[in-house]
Amino acid sequence: MSDRAYVIFEEQQRARGIDLDQVKAKLKAFKIETPSWGYGDSGTRFKVFKKQGVPRNPFEKFDDAAQVHRLTGICPSVAIHIPWDKVEDYGKLKSHAENLGLAIGAVNPNLFQEQEYMLGSVTNADPLIRRKATDHLLECVDIAKETGSRDLSLWFADGTNYPGQGDIRQRKAWMLEALAEMYKAMMPQMRMLIEYKFFEPAFYHTDLADWGMAYNYAVKLGPQAQVLVDTGHHAQGTNVEHIVAYLIDEHKLGGFHFNSRKYADDDLIVGSMNPYELFLIFYQILSAANDSDLSIGQTVNQIAYMIDQSHNIEAKIPAMIRSVMNVQTQYAKALLVNHSEVAEAQQRNDVLEAENAVRQAFEFDVTPLLHAVREEMGVPADPMKAYLNSGYPKSILSRGIGGASW
């Protein structure tokens, strides 16, 4: 049935003027980075529930990530978090990854889990703490050199809980100082991806609270600094795809941390709460990819697609497979938008037709397409089923309870 379903799908799309060969090529070239910490235990402030079989060290996290790549074919790199993934010999970790067919992806500094950082890291009123924090940023640049990572993903928990607690403008200046020192230490091929967040763990003011603040730092620092959009880090109602389009237009969109949210930074499986929003993000990206200004297309090509989630109650590896498939599904749907049809409707101010031309692509069932692409890539048509039927889930139970968590 699957083959016949694909034949019908193909006819349908060709009739709409969609070049399916190109669509398939793009789907094969599309890569999603999974995070090492997504394989460990995580939770809320109320409780971290412990699962049996969770990896006990960075090497086992890569083992699990390799399963996701083996079954989906599109997850060849893994982001690491320092010090959660601190090892004595990064060369050894790199070799381990390469033996599994993986690369080490973005390096993520951690500036929120040491006692000193309670009131800020690079924005702390205490210069010794700022120094320590900046040194950790520099350490991460060094690690990135060892691991061969292109991207340094920076998220700061810095902020205040009360009016008056900190000097907002002074903290702004201190953060720039730290970023500038780090920027200078980077290799020419490296990128600094600056993440922002509306709130949490700071509850009055967050030093890097929105895209505008991250963008402004990136502009001041230079072309190697760009913005990282975490899909869960916005105020309710925020039009995330607008921000995406805006940042691309300024050549400052560096990448994504994908996840879903209904309320705050819920860190649920991407695509599970509002799949249409994910589709619309890709619609903006793909719309920009075709820009006559080639530098826009170049920006698009460099976007890092990364998962960043907390699997508090789900089985970790299946949750990651589901996440990757959800992203792939919405990307595939967005590839079915007929951009010239949209553009024509926009030009004649036909609101309903323009809206329809975009939404229509979302309504297609891309399962036959994805099955076909996976077959051509030599991975299982249904990666989730393949995983559950493999021996891997059982094999990791021997790790016991109490693996890595954040």
45 sits near a second copy (criterion: CB under 8 A): yes
Nearer to a second copy, 77 or 160 (CB): 160
Among the residue ranges 72-80, 133-141, 261-269, 392-400, the one whose residues contact a second copy (CB under 8 A): 261-269
338 sits near a second copy (criterion: CB under 8 A): no
Q: What whole-number distance in Å separates Cα of residue 213 and Cα of residue 140? A: 22
Of all helices (H) and strands (E), which one includes residue 103? strand 103-109
Which residues within the stretch 262-291 sit at the binding site for a second copy (CB under 8 A)? Answer: 262-264, 266, 268-269, 272-277, 280, 283-284, 287-288, 291
> CA distances (Å), 388 to each of 14, 36, 61, 165, 202, in order?
35, 20, 18, 51, 39
One residue of 181, 210, 375, 382 binding a second copy per CB under 8 A: 210
204 sits near a second copy (criterion: CB under 8 A): yes
Which residues within the stretch 211-230 sit at the binding site for a second copy (CB under 8 A)? Answer: 211-213, 215-216
> CA distances (Å), 350 to each of 166, 170, 290, 339, in order?
50, 49, 22, 15
Among the residue ranges 26-34, 298-306, 361-369, 392-400, the one whose residues contact a second copy (CB under 8 A): 361-369
Q: Counting every residue, how long is the chain? A: 406
One residue of 22, 95, 99, 113 binding a second copy per CB under 8 A: 113
Which residues within the stretch 238-257 sit at the binding site for a second copy (CB under 8 A)? Answer: 238-239, 241-242, 245-246, 248-250
Cis amide linkage into residue 35, ω under 30° from 0: no
Q: What whole-number distance in Å separates Cα of residue 167 and Cα of residue 125? A: 9
1 sits near a second copy (criterion: CB under 8 A): yes
Which residues within the stretch 50-109 sit at the binding site for a second copy (CB under 8 A)? Answer: 50
Classified as helix, coil or strand, 130 is helix
364 sits near a second copy (criterion: CB under 8 A): yes
CB 355, min distance to a second copy, A: 4
Total residues contacting a second copy by CB under 8 A comes to 113
10 sits near a second copy (criterion: CB under 8 A): no
Q: What whole-number distance in Å separates Cα of residue 347 and Cα of residue 358? A: 15
177 sits near a second copy (criterion: CB under 8 A): no
Nearer to a second copy, 35 or 166 (CB): 166
Of all helices (H) and strands (E), which one includes residue 352? helix 351-363
The DSSP call for residue 53 is: T
298 sits near a second copy (criterion: CB under 8 A): no
Which residues within the stretch 141-170 sit at the binding site for a second copy (CB under 8 A)? Answer: 157, 161-169
Q: What whole-number distance in Å separates Cα of residue 402 and Cα of residue 40? A: 9
CB 89, min distance to a second copy, A: 28
Nearer to a second copy, 25 or 118 (CB): 118
Helices 240-249 and 294-301 cross at an angle (nearest 10°) of: 120
Among the residue ranges 29-37, 97-105, 343-351, 372-380, the one whose residues contact a second copy (CB under 8 A): 343-351
Q: What is the DSSP string of 155-198?
A: ----EESSTTSS-HHHHHHHHHHHHHHHHHHS-TT-EEEEE--S
Nearer to a second copy, 211 or 258 (CB): 211
Nearer to a second copy, 57 or 216 (CB): 216
Among the residue ranges 91-99, 101-109, 136-144, 201-209, the one whose residues contact a second copy (CB under 8 A): 201-209
Nearer to a second copy, 25 or 343 (CB): 343
Q: What angle do CA 149, 77, 296 make, to 5 degrees?
A: 70
Strand order in the sheet with 34-35: 34-35, 77-82, 103-109, 151-154, 191-195, 225-230, 253-258, 304-307
Nearer to a second copy, 235 or 397 (CB): 235
